[in-house]
Amino acid sequence: MVAKRIIPCLDVKDGRTVKGVNFIGLQDVGDAVELGRRYAMQGADELVYLDISATIEGRNTFTSLVERISSNINIPFTVGGGISTIDDAARLLDAGADKVSINSAAVNNPSLIDSIASKYGSQFVVLAIDTKRVGNEWLITTHGGRTLTERELFSWAREGEERGAGEILLTSMDHDGTRNGYPCELFRELSRHLSIPIIASGGAGSVDDIAKVFSEGGADAALAASIFHYGEITVMELKRRLHDKGIKVRI
């Protein structure tokens, strides 16, 4: 059995790690490189950095940050936010990122997945999907969950895999920020449709929540932010408690 991955997520604005709710009421929680280094030392398997500024100036700042991260951190890291062209992805990958995460731009231009995968390989492409339940369907949203589309989750995820995405990063907008746990049945159903790894995001409020999305939801990795940023638990403590529950993790 492949070990489950624990991935701290760092939202970045002007080179600093921030945390808020839907990018509102942002609080500075530390230097992005130093926090990443701390999580790496605690045993994080990977990191995700999201540029929430996503302006031209922010992207330039972010490129310099990626170079610093690459020089200081020895675990794989993914970067996302404002990536809408192959040139955006190339700039960040060439700066040292191990993977790029694309979301709204891929919904608007699905061939972006093909372009990045063709140039760099599927292992460099993470397709982030924000979904919302409408009636009996799970529909895709864009722009941080603010815009509802008519695209259906499972067909879009399959298309993403066929176009070359190496992983799916899935967030249920109905659960994001609630800290009431993940919709495990949704992750389980998605895993039946795909052969590529699935990263669970949004809803984690406890060790049990993360354990359930692994054991009941079939997720391959779990993304978390607040529980690490505010010192509620360290990465290694989380891993040890997951191990005690019979979940295979790297310790």
Q: What CATH number corresponds to the domain at position 218?
A: 3.20.20.70
* DSSP structural state of residue 183: -
Specify whether 11 is catalytic: yes
E strand map for 34-186: 47-51, 77-80, 99-102, 125-134, 137-142, 147-152, 167-172
Q: What is the pLDDT of residue 28?
A: 67
Looking at the domain assignment, is residue 249 inside a domain?
no
Q: What is the pLDDT of residue 56?
A: 58
Specify whether 31 is catalytic: no
Measure the N-to-C terminal CA separation of the chain; round to a whole number of Å. Answer: 15
Looking at the domain assignment, is residue 250 inside a domain?
no
- State the residue range of the domain holding 237: 5-244
Looking at the domain assignment, is residue 251 inside a domain?
no
Yes or no: say if 144 and 138 are a contact pair by the CB < 8 Å rule.
no
Looking at the domain assignment, is residue 214 inside a domain?
yes
Identity at 70, one-letter amino acid code: S
CA–CA separation, 89 and 205 (whole Å): 32
Q: What is the pLDDT of residue 20?
A: 60
Q: What is the mean pLDDT of each run of 10 residues along the chain (251 residues)?
A: 94 78 61 94 96 68 91 97 92 96 96 97 97 94 87 98 98 76 93 97 89 97 89 95 98 93
* DSSP structural state of residue 2: P
11, 88, 176, 220: the catalytic one is 11
Looking at the domain assignment, is residue 30 inside a domain?
yes
CA–CA separation, 245 and 44 (whole Å): 18
Looking at the domain assignment, is residue 65 inside a domain?
yes
Q: What is the pLDDT of residue 82?
A: 85
Question: pTM of the predicted model, to two decimals?
Answer: 0.93
Counted domains in the chain? 1
45, 130, 209, 220: the catalytic one is 130
CA–CA separation, 114 and 49 (whole Å): 22
